[in-house]
Structure 1
Amino acid sequence: MKIKTTAIQLTPPVRPRIGWFRARQILLGLAFAALLLMALFPGLFTPYTPGQIDASAILQSPSWAHPLGTDEAGADVWTRVVYATRLEGQIAVGSVLIALCIGLPLGLIAGNSRRFFDWSLTSVANATLAFPLILFAILMVASFGTTPGSLTVIIGFLFFPRIFLLMRAQTKAIREREFIIATRVVGAHPTRILGLHILPNAIGPLATLVPQLMAEAILIEAGLSYLGLGVPLPQATWGTILEASKDFYVTAPFYAVVAGLTITLVAALFMYVGDLIAESRNPLRKRRAS
């Protein structure tokens, strides 16, 4: 008696070489590369300069010569947006760096210190957060001026409480773990424990917060500029371009749309980067996204 057998070929499901998670990383990388090139080499993206005006093309609609139209002086709107990228980036990056320089070490110290010092720093941070953000920024700008440097410092000061509270909470949680207790038992110096053991383990959530703060810096600068508290001419940011367009909503709607869309899209890009970093730190979310 013969038994006929049939071989069944088992083929694993074909998985794409690049999942959606990886594709998003590539697209975000390209977007940030474009922003960086705009900031460093704006001349690569436009044949004009911000000061190059055409009196015969005032508030001209988008055309082949001016893809995004012209402003009230006859300057190319796309050129102004491109050249404003550098100063916008300096304010966003600089303000977050200032917040990090203040909030990160103070958060580490407060999370590892005695009650009175911890309570004092936490009270200052909470009081700053309790004050309305834009109102506080307006008061600070009115006091210290509207130069790019003062705007950067003011926005950085507004951000430091959030970094401080995050690092404080992380430090308090990590300092009770067994490996930290073991380093104390063997006599490690507190500074060494903070720098070599607590800081590397506490910095993960900070990577999610930083790009979101950069997005907020862009939005805060735009809000202050719209209220007439932006950087003075001839310097320009996306916020000052938006402020200049407010008188031409009816006659030249494209002018305001370009500035508003630029601010919205770049801020959304940074927010999305924060979400992507959070996904990469969570294996379950990353597996579902890929």
Structure 2
Amino acid sequence: MLTVALWPELFVTHDPTAVDSDSILQSASWEHPLGTDEAGADVLARLVHATQLEVVIAAGSVIIALVIGVPSGLLAGNSGKLIDGGISSGASAILAFPMVLFAILVVSSFGTTALTLVGIIGFVFAPRVFVLVRAQTKALKEREFVVAARVTGISPRRTMARHVLPNMAGPLFTLIPQLMAEALLIEAGLSFLGLGVQLPDSTWGTILESSKDYYVTSPGYAVAAGLTITIAAGLLMASGELAAESFNPLKKRRQK
């Protein structure tokens, strides 16, 4: 996916913005393997070039979630009931708030741009990261090596940075690709509702949204966009499962 995003020209030769009134909604052919859209543009070229924006949205939203969720999770997990309860209540409130309503409120204020989508999805994901980091912090801070670090006089901040945070890398690396997969699906859903990026920018979600009026006359158009989203999300989910297995200590013991 990253290779396609960085070098789309290696995979397609057509210009994704080129229109041809004589080639509107054509079926799959050697020249257009996935057919053409309502403007005569090559669907495969549009999907390949849209990968760049998809990677930006998926990766950017996860980065925002990590920037918010990791520090707040460490703080809550290592604090008393007052601070922990306050931050946890805020995270629960965000999780309970309807995402579509939140997206509508943000889009109405800041417009439908890729940056807006990154902010919306990242903010919604942050409580998920927070919950994981908080739980890991509470469990790890009672481990012998962390207790020993505190006894030797190492500051709480250094203890968190050197002993707690590195030992939750496994669960975090498992969560990250899963969140990226969900970001693709959320972006597609928001775009289908008209809350995605606007032309001339394109994402898989906006391409799927554009195809909704042609399900009967050109079903391959919608199928191509839908399968692209499904396959990409499935591969990211699978990579998350592989990460979980690779960090599984029981599996490592059996291999030894």
Instruction: Tell me what 1:273 maps to.
Output: 239
Cα-to-partner distance string for 1:79-112 (whole Å, 9 max, x where unaligned): 0000100001100000000000110011111111
Provide the rounded CA distance (Å) in 2 between the counterparts of 1:53 and 1:258: 19
Deviation of 1:159 after TM superposition, in Å, equals 0.3
Matching residue within 132, 135, 144 for 1:178 = 144
Instruction: Tell me what 1:189 maps to.
Output: 155
Query: Does the alignment pair 1:69 with 2:39?
Result: no
Deviation of 1:285 after TM superposition, in Å, equals 5.7
Query: Does the alignment pair 1:107 with 2:110?
Result: no
Which AA in structure 1 matches 2:172? L
Query: Does the alignment pair 1:128 with 2:94?
Result: yes
Matching residue within 226, 251, 255 for 2:192 = 226
Instruction: Tell me what 1:97 maps to.
Output: 63
Matching residue within 149, 157, 179 for 2:115 = 149
Match of 2:22, SS state, is: helix
Conserved 8 A contact 2:211-2:221: yes
Cα-to-partner distance string for 1:132-190 (whole Å, 9 max, x where unaligned): 33333333323332111111011100000010111011001111111111111111111
Deviation of 1:281 after TM superposition, in Å, equals 2.0
Query: Does the alignment pair 1:118 with 2:84?
Result: yes
Which AA in structure 1 matches 2:91? A
Instruction: Tell me what 1:261 maps to.
Output: 227
Provide the rounded CA distance (Å) in 1 between the counterparts of 2:251 and 2:18: 49
Which runs of 4 or more aligned residues in structure 1 lie more than 3 Å from their structure 2 counterparts after TM superposition?
283-288
Provide the rounded CA distance (Å) in 1 between the counterparts of 2:29 and 2:108: 40
Structure 1 residue runs of 5 or longer lacking an equivalent are 1-34
Larger radius of gyration: 1
Match of 2:61, SS state, is: helix
Task: Give the number of aligned pairs.
Answer: 255
Provide the rounded CA distance (Å) in 1 between the counterparts of 2:35 and 2:244: 39
Instruction: Tell me what 2:133 maps to.
Output: 167
Provide the rounded CA distance (Å) in 2 between the counterparts of 1:173 and 1:148: 37
Matches within 5 A, 1:27-46: 35-46=1-12
Provide the rounded CA distance (Å) in 2 between the counterparts of 1:206 and 1:37: 24
Structure 2 residue runs of 5 or longer lacking an equivalent are none
Provide the rounded CA distance (Å) in 2 between the counterparts of 1:50 and 1:85: 12
Q: Name the Cα RMSD after superposition.
A: 1.7
Q: TM-score, normalised by structure 2?
A: 0.95
